[in-house]
């Protein structure tokens, strides 16, 4: 079940002409539970970071973050931190 979903996602990403590069991590915890996350780089330079945690046919958690080309936020670990007194 999860394997079928992962296969479908991989297929759709492979044939998408607007994606220039991709990095995908698929984790199958059981036949009905898994997680997929990755980054997609589009022809216009924008990037989509995403994560889905699925159980059976339910998306229990998800995150999608689209960043425009040239407007990507710095990595949180390198962002400046202000002290709170």
**Residue 83 predicted with pLDDT over 80:** no
Question: Using CA atoms, how far apart are residues 24 and 1, in angstroms rounded to an integer?
Answer: 19
Query: For 3-52, how does the pLDDT look when each residue is reduced to its tens digit (9 = 90+)?
Result: 999 999 999 999 999 999 999 999 999 999 999 999 999 999 999 999 99
Average pLDDT for residues 56-68, to the nearest whole number?
A: 92
**Which pLDDT band, with edges at 50, 70 and 90, does 64 fall under?**
very high
Q: What confidence score (pLDDT) does residue 31 get?
A: 94
Average pLDDT for residues 45-70, to the nearest whole number?
A: 93
Do 24 and 36 touch, CB atoms closer than 8 A? yes
Do 49 and 24 touch, CB atoms closer than 8 A? no
């Amino acid at each position: 079940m999860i394997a079928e979903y992962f296969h479908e996602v991989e297929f759709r990403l492979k044939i998408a002409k607007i994606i220039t590069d991709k990095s995908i991590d698929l984790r199958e915890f059981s036949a009905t539970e898994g997680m997929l996350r990755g980054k997609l780089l589009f022809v216009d330079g924008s990037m989509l970071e995403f994560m889905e945690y699925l159980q059976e046919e339910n998306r229990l958690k998800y995150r999608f973050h689209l960043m425009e080309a040239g407007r990507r936020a710095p990595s949180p670990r390198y962002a400046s931190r202000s002290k709170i007194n």
